[in-house]
Structure 1
Amino acid sequence: MMESLITSSVRSRWLVLFITLVVAMAGAWQLNLLPIDVTPDITNKQVQINTLVPSLTPVEIEKRVTFPIETALAGLDGVENVRSISRNGFSQVTAIFKESANLYFMRQQVTERLVRARQDLPEGVTPQMGPVSTGLGEVFHYSVEYTHPEGKGAPVKDGKPGWQSDGSFLTEQGERLRDNVAKQAYLRTVQDWIVRPQLRTTPGVADVDSLGGYVKQYVVEADPAKMAAYGISFAELGTALEEANVSVGANYIRRSGESYLVRADGRVRTQDELTRAVVTSRNGVPITVGQITKVNIGGELRTGVASRDGYETVVGSALMLVGANSRTVAAAVGDKLKEIGRILPAGIAVVPTLDRSQLVGATINTVAKNLTEGALLVVVVLFALLGNWRAAMIAALVIPLSLLMSAIGMNSLHISGNLMSLGALDFGLIIDGAVIIVENSLRRLAERQHREGRTLVLKERLEEVVASSREMLRPTIYGQLVIFLVFLPCLTFQGVEGKMFSPMVITLMLALVSAFVLSLTFVPALIAVLMSGPVSEKEVKIITVTKSRYEPWLRRAVARPWPFINAGLGVLVLAGTGAEVQKPLATVVIGGLITSTILTLFVLPAITGLVLRRRRFNDSAKLETRIESL
């Protein structure tokens, strides 16, 4: 079957080249769509259930909230384990699912279980599921801050929104912010009510978190002496505050065929409105909240703070959906923030502080640089060793073509491009099959041309290309099979190891399969097209010198094998004793290459010589043949 494929590729060479071009164009399109990230996402499939009950202690949270939720999730199909955290006023239950489970279906199952569990929870407690994101889902951070922190260098226009001459900040709603709490509460309000709702509509964004500032509250500080003087209790004050913040609809009035809605909107919008709210009356005189209390702008108890350049700000974090493209999502968030920045209140700005797309761009440049340098180095080595620029070009073309074909498989298998997957491509392994086919074809074409004493005609050239490719079919298959078997155990990794290394191994295997297919189709077809003129197959100077220096040592290794075998064992022992010493990765790789080269050039021939001696291989002619083959 493989031999017929080679024959058909050479005979239909122009069709093969056209199909290769079409596949390369499809691969380039798929490469542009390939999700690019820095590292693989190693987070397992999970759902977090968060519950806030500020009035409960950690022990009560564990007994009355965490335990009922854990019990409700028990026995849910697809859940591997459940872990929880119980803190003061806060409960978090995390359900870990199997990797084969459908995350959205499992979230639906968890929702159904939570509905059943609510009857066992304290009244008014509502568990909330976390966003559909992962631990590596934070793709964009930004800071909501004043354009001129603390009013330094700000243009002052009293009466207009912005910084005032007395150091306060006037909002567009007319509120005057005097203290730091009120100013930070205003930043948090802008984040939660202007920036966050619009940012959540960005495609690929799961949620937006807020950190810092204060969640705005109106703080009413009662004066017990004044309340006692007016005979007002705290219960009456609380009831009056509730009744002062209501909105009531009173049906509608029909007139001349039209309906007019009647409603009374008494909701509190400003600090002054709350101050003027009536608590009760004495002798027909209303008693307002401002007469018996002091009303300020404050914030709820916070558990975190954010700052930039030494000034307190509010930081927002955009979380990416599971499986989304971090590069495109981060870029979309950045574009959306620019739109939002044009409608922000006066004196407020949104400043990006972390953009994952920039990091991804740097990663792409690093990977592209490494791949380009590696490809150029391989091309230079090929040209230096083959001595024929056409042959070197044919072998080198396998590198970009295999990469483009791999992109198609990566998108189909939902594998992102990152430092692990793309950075692990080994061009030496990829073009191994193409090199031996090109070199053997070059040799046979030169020998046939020498025998004929003329330039080969088309039929003779095609015959030699087919024959040379068939000769190298078995070594090519064996070489690719050995590489596959070496990396195959990596696909059995589970958990974090599997998520980290499986994309690397799968990408490398896709590249190897692509290169193998190209070696049997594209390479013979292109050889038949390009190698049309005179072909000379001669060894370059570096090969000639290396052979002349290596042959005496090869004869010694075959004649006296034991010293070389013992030396190889000594190298292995030294390598084993130094395995526990931490070394740079480059040192380990270079040392491994040198060791494997020594074993291949000297120890393996020595073992061959030992086998020949044990078989009483005394025929000098046959022995010379074996040495020549080595």
Structure 2
Amino acid sequence: MVARPTFFGIAIIALVYVPVLSLGGVEGKLFQPMAQAVMLAIVAGLAWTFTIVPALSAWLLRSPAADAQDDHHKGFVGMAERVYTPALNRALAHPVLLFIGAVALLAATFLVFKTLGSQFTPQLDEGAITAMVYRPVGMSLEESLAIEQRTEAAIRRAYPQVTHTFSRIGTSEVATDPMPPNENDLYIFYGPQKDWPTGDGMPRTKQELIAGIEKVARRVYAGQNFEFAQPIEMRFNEMLEGVRADVSVKIYGDDYDRLEQAAAKAKAILEKLPGTEGVEFETAGRPKSIVVDLDRDALIRLNLGAEEVNNAIRDALAGAEVGFIPHGPARHAIVIRMPESLRADPSAILALPLRVGEYGMVPLSRVARLRQTRIVEPILHDDTNRRAALMVNLSTSDLEGYVQKAKAAIDGQVKLPPGYRIEFGGQYHQLEAAQKRLSIVVPVALILIFALVYAALGSVREAAIVYTGIPFAVTGGILALWLRGMPFSITAAIGFIALSGIAMLNGLVLIDHINALRDGREGDPLPVEDAVRQGAHDRLRPVLSTALVASVGFVPMAIATGAGAEVQRPLATVVIGGIITSTILTLLLLPSLYAWIERRAARLRSDEQPSA
């Protein structure tokens, strides 16, 4: 009786996860294992249902006693039937009105969807803050370290909820993430928010804590700027686009002066845009540099080569290795160079002695002149294209809406010469790529699902009726996101994909049972109206059971607050909200649509018979 719809229903649920398997990049790494696990579990459950369950049922279950025939009219199911019967009667009496109301709800829901906003993945609370610190170019390592130590101490004194801090400055022995001495990453760890002090002036939210930390740090040293993120989030963004921010604005062209000018204009525009938390240049400006111009005529007169002079300058400023000190199995190099205090002094550099001949010495000033200039360092490229970039962190969760507004503002105010272009990257680029991929794969999967429903029912008309369950299930998911103030994300999209399978399963089982009652597969054939009423009441319990099991199973995810809960909540919220509307529409809209369409089809057939 139920083998055919069960098999096709399970096949449909497995098929709806195929789009998830097509995801690439970070979103694929996150959700492909889930889709694979669900599909394997569904296949295993199907095998269990058709093999072990019938045998166990025949062995363990007994026929109900005569006095237990009416037990299903008691308890929760009985109460549900007493509510459902008059509601079904009204739905069957006014099918067109019910359908128009459902379509109006669907249209209103999509208007609500436009207000949700979009983001790539929900932001996790990592329990830590990363402050990317930028100080004036040319600052020495010692000075930067001293400022950083004072900054950390001031933050810990001001905010007891900060448990500990540490920083990374400069380049490590394994230079996988080199930074100049004027830049560093400051990691700030805080305790659970419920344990934060609640006195006057104390921050109550993470955003207030970040704002307070920035104020304290600027009091220590006013010349430092900050970009705030989270440790994993920062590396995640850097891995995506090479920029440590939610959104990157990259300007491509040949002339670096024009690139810098365009970037400065774009920065000023973005700083005024609502939703911007912070904007910084990817590079810290043009550092000062000392250029040594050699006097070729003087070199010839003194019989000196340019290489000799360059080597002498290099040894004095960068250092020359003159030996080593053994320390166990390790050897530590002995390097000599000018003192730190003299290496930036032009007069000391010009006094650098150069050997002339066998015994003579002359100062560098005899053969060279010094001049100070600012150089572009580094000049960054993407695929050999020279670029400048801005790092933008957002205070809004509507990533897509923010980028659209930013594009419109920059395109209207920043004029670029031919051959120059502006691109937005970071998480927005990943969101855009995932949306494009899903826009191709999801329609293909929906067509295949329709083919399966048609194969199960043998009627395009009935398959279309079952298919109405998908858009009307989506309404509940969208409304649930709106009520909880959550934006649309790839996580929510996975929830909609899972929801569509559940909606199709319930509709398929209901319509197949109604067809069985009409065809006489389960007794005497019944007229359409009677078959619809009995079929809807027969399937009330399994439909409600499916809805309750699925929705209750997602409740812990929907209300979770632990690590990773930010990713789980949108998925669970969509499924729970969608199951509520899907169940109502499956029990009311599908039977009324089926009866109305079949009555009209019967009238059309009867009208055609005399003419034949």
Range into which the TM-score falls when normalised by the shorter chain:
0.5 to 0.7
Pick closer, same or farther for the CA change 1:448–1:465 going to 2, 3 Å.
Answer: farther
Tell me which residue corresponds to 2:484.
413
SS of 1:415's equivalent in the other structure is: coil
* TM-score normalised to structure 1 length: 0.55
Q: Deviations over 1:12-48 (max 9, x none)?
A: 3333212101111112223344433443333547655
SS of 2:494's equivalent in the other structure is: coil
Q: 1:353 and 1:117 mapped to 2: Cα distance?
A: 30
Tell me which residue corresponds to 1:393.
464
1:194 positional shift: 2.9
SS of 2:250's equivalent in the other structure is: strand
Q: 1:449 and 1:475 mapped to 2: Cα distance?
A: 17
Counterpart check, 1:323 vs 2:421 = no
Q: 1:452 and 1:86 mapped to 2: Cα distance?
A: 79
Contact 1:23 1:405 in 2 (8 A): no
Counterpart check, 1:474 vs 2:541 = yes
Contact 1:27 1:406 in 2 (8 A): no
Counterpart check, 1:307 vs 2:307 = no
Pick closer, same or farther for the CA change 1:401–1:505 going to 2, 3 Å.
Answer: same
Tell me which residue corresponds to 1:517.
584
Q: 1:111 and 1:38 mapped to 2: Cα distance?
A: 25
Contact 1:69 1:114 in 2 (8 A): no
Q: 1:385 and 1:70 mapped to 2: Cα distance?
A: 66
Contact 1:24 1:404 in 2 (8 A): yes
Query: Residue 501 of structure 1: which of 557, 564, 568 is its match?
Result: 568
Tell me which residue corresponds to 2:281.
210
* TM-score normalised to structure 2 length: 0.56
Pick closer, same or farther for the CA change 1:96–1:395 going to 2, 3 Å.
Answer: farther
Contact 2:210 2:228 in 1 (8 A): no
1:526 positional shift: 0.9
Query: Residue 66 of structure 1: which of 152, 157, 163 is its match?
Result: 152
SS of 2:488's equivalent in the other structure is: coil
SS of 2:89's equivalent in the other structure is: helix
SS of 2:599's equivalent in the other structure is: coil
Q: 2:422 and 2:521 mapped to 1: Cα distance?
A: 71
Q: 1:33 and 1:462 mapped to 2: Cα distance?
A: 42
Query: Residue 431 of structure 1: which of 480, 504, 508 is its match?
Result: 504
Counterpart check, 1:335 vs 2:335 = no
Tell me which residue corresponds to 2:247.
139
1:518 positional shift: 1.0
Contact 1:431 1:515 in 2 (8 A): no
1:360 positional shift: 3.1
Tell me which residue corresponds to 1:624.
none
1:366 positional shift: 2.4
Q: 1:464 and 1:410 mapped to 2: Cα distance?
A: 37
Tell me which residue corresponds to 1:365.
436
Counterpart check, 1:298 vs 2:374 = yes
Contact 1:44 1:97 in 2 (8 A): no
Query: Residue 94 of structure 1: which of 188, 199, 203 is its match?
Result: 188
Task: Considering Cα pairs closer than 8 Å and 6+ residues apart, tell me whether 1 or 2 has the greater RCO.
Answer: 2
SS of 1:521's equivalent in the other structure is: helix
SS of 1:422's equivalent in the other structure is: helix
Q: Tell me how many residue pairs correspond in the alignment.
A: 412
SS of 1:146's equivalent in the other structure is: coil
Q: 1:36 and 1:323 mapped to 2: Cα distance?
A: 10
Tell me which residue corresponds to 2:352.
none
Query: Residue 112 of structure 2: which of 19, 25, 30 is its match?
Result: 30
Query: Residue 166 of structure 2: which of 84, 87, 90 is its match?
Result: 84
Describe how 1:218-617 pairs up with structure 2 within 5 A: 296-298=372-374, 305-310=379-384, 313-342=386-415, 349-352=420-423, 354=425, 359-424=430-495, 425-426=497-498, 427-447=500-520, 456=527, 461-491=528-558, 494-532=561-599
Contact 1:66 1:86 in 2 (8 A): no
Contact 1:399 1:430 in 2 (8 A): yes
Q: Deviations over 1:58-98 (max 9, x none)?
A: 763464321221221114xxx6x553315355572535575
Pick closer, same or farther for the CA change 1:496–1:369 going to 2, 3 Å.
Answer: farther
Contact 2:165 2:187 in 1 (8 A): yes
Kindly provide the amino acid, as one letter, of the partner of residue 471 in structure 2.
P
Q: Deviations over 1:220-240 (max 9, x none)?
A: 99xxxxxxxxxxxxxxxxxxx
Kindly provide the amino acid, as one letter, of the partner of residue 396 in structure 1.
Y
Counterpart check, 1:197 vs 2:305 = no
Q: Radius of gyration: which is bigger?
A: 1
Tell me which residue corresponds to 1:617.
none
Q: Deviations over 1:113-132 (max 9, x none)?
A: 7767888x4xx556655458
Q: 2:428 and 2:107 mapped to 1: Cα distance?
A: 26
1:509 positional shift: 2.4
Q: 1:113 and 1:365 mapped to 2: Cα distance?
A: 40
Pick closer, same or farther for the CA change 1:73–1:437 going to 2, 3 Å.
Answer: same
Q: 1:440 and 1:106 mapped to 2: Cα distance?
A: 54
1:387 positional shift: 2.2
SS of 1:391's equivalent in the other structure is: helix
Pick closer, same or farther for the CA change 1:213–1:8 going to 2, 3 Å.
Answer: same
Q: 2:379 and 2:561 mapped to 1: Cα distance?
A: 38
Contact 1:367 1:423 in 2 (8 A): no
SS of 2:551's equivalent in the other structure is: helix
SS of 2:569's equivalent in the other structure is: helix
1:451 positional shift: 6.2
SS of 1:74's equivalent in the other structure is: coil
Contact 1:65 1:91 in 2 (8 A): no
Q: 2:598 and 2:281 mapped to 1: Cα distance?
A: 66
Contact 1:188 1:215 in 2 (8 A): no
Query: Residue 20 of structure 1: which of 102, 110, 120 is its match?
Result: 102
Pick closer, same or farther for the CA change 1:507–1:98 going to 2, 3 Å.
Answer: farther
1:532 positional shift: 1.0
Q: 1:127 and 1:146 mapped to 2: Cα distance?
A: 30
1:406 positional shift: 1.9
Q: 1:188 and 1:215 mapped to 2: Cα distance?
A: 13
Q: 2:573 and 2:203 mapped to 1: Cα distance?
A: 23
Q: Deviations over 1:152-180 (max 9, x none)?
A: xxxxxxxxxxxxxxxxxxxxxxxxxxxxx
Q: Any stretches of 5+ residues in structure 2 without a counterpart?
A: 1-82, 170-180, 197-201, 238-244, 293-368, 603-612
